[in-house]
Structure 1
């Protein structure tokens, strides 16, 4: 279990004042990593860092984050946190992969934040509320392109959408209420949806 991951570099003497949030995400794209690291400029309580790893399968993403946590010598008892962002997606056998990953994450005190079908839903909710039943990630990205014309997986969009964050919170929670009203409680079945806002609210707790 990752309750305490190393303590040589940041023991009691050298311990930095900020708690660390280590972010894990899928594959080589920098979408989630760049976005969350940008919140370092918006608050002072946490140092947000990106874990290493190129895995695209959910269990591999969790395992990569665990390896990074050991390398960074995080200490969960001192308030450090592991946050894993995974797309529900439409890949074959994805349901089992996701449930296996969430089980492994629970066993190691990792918080998993799902987006269905993909993380770009969070970006899109900055601009509009929608319950559209997307059939692919590409459909989401196409819709997002109406608002961010040159969007790509490697683009840093924080500065483009930061002023719309309150709208995103409202739209995302409205979407949560929509799924609740329709009896959809399974995290993997809420389409569209994103849990990204939960970590952001925690990071900006004093603001919201």
Structure 2
């Protein structure tokens, strides 16, 4: 098995995405080595997978292998599964996309650090990231149902089982900007670290 490339390092350098293409992209040199294979694991069996599988096909995504997989169970189990798949299948990076929801977060965060998995929390849930494509989201969100209600303020017929990526494509740049302005997940509510994955895929 060949050695894995360096771990992605969080950066708040800006990216510019719009109309499905890159219009400007800036990053500090030396932040991250060029990647060739990224594994993204999530315990979201529909919404997250549909979004991520569409996102990876965008023309601004840097060429390379990006695979999205479903891992059932708690965030800790998702991290564990991502690390196992990465080592078994020789991916350069492993990411875990998880909701805070009702879970305790410390065990998964500690395991992610120990196994070199990039853990992306959304508090309370992934729908926060989707709302940020459409507008600001700064007030406390009680749970996933309330987050879905917030999203329906922008997409009246929102159905988590039938995500239409075209409704979010042009808002990725704005979602990144807005997510960065929120507090740090997993503690802040609302918050999401999904912007880190977007920057990793595009730089």
Q: If the TM-score is normalised by the length of the shorter chain, which range does it land in?
A: 0.7 to 0.9
More strand per residue: 1 or 2? Answer: 2
Q: CA deviation at 1:172?
A: 1.6
Structure 1 pair 156/47, CA: closer, same or farther in 2 (3 Å)? farther
Name the residue aligned to 1:34: 50
**Runs of 4+ residues over 3 Å off in structure 1:** none
Q: Secondary structure at the match of 1:62?
A: helix
**Structure 1 segment 130-169 matched on structure 2, within 5 A:** 130-169=137-176
Q: Residue 84 of structure 2 is aligned with which of 63, 67, 74? A: 67
Q: Residue 84 of structure 1 is aligned with which of 96, 102, 121? A: 96
Output one character per residue of 1:129-164: Cα deviation in whole Å (capped at 9) or x when no partner.
121111111000111022223333333332211111
Structure 1 unmatched runs, 5+: 5-16, 180-184
Name the residue aligned to 1:193: 191
Output one character per residue of 1:105-126: Cα deviation in whole Å (capped at 9) or x when no partner.
1111100011010011011011
- State whether residues 128 and 191 of structure 2, in contact with CA within 8 Å, keep that contact through their aligned partners in structure 1: yes
* Cα distance in structure 1, aligned partners of 2:65 and 2:157: 29
Structure 2 unmatched runs, 5+: 5-33
Q: Secondary structure at the match of 1:23?
A: strand
| TM score, norm. by length of structure 1 | 0.73
More helix per residue: 1 or 2? Answer: 1
Q: CA deviation at 1:18?
A: 7.0
Name the residue aligned to 1:7: none
* Cα distance in structure 1, aligned partners of 2:168 and 2:155: 9
Q: Residue 110 of structure 2 is aligned with which of 103, 112, 126? A: 103
Q: Residue 120 of structure 1 is aligned with which of 122, 127, 139? A: 127
Q: CA deviation at 1:103?
A: 1.3
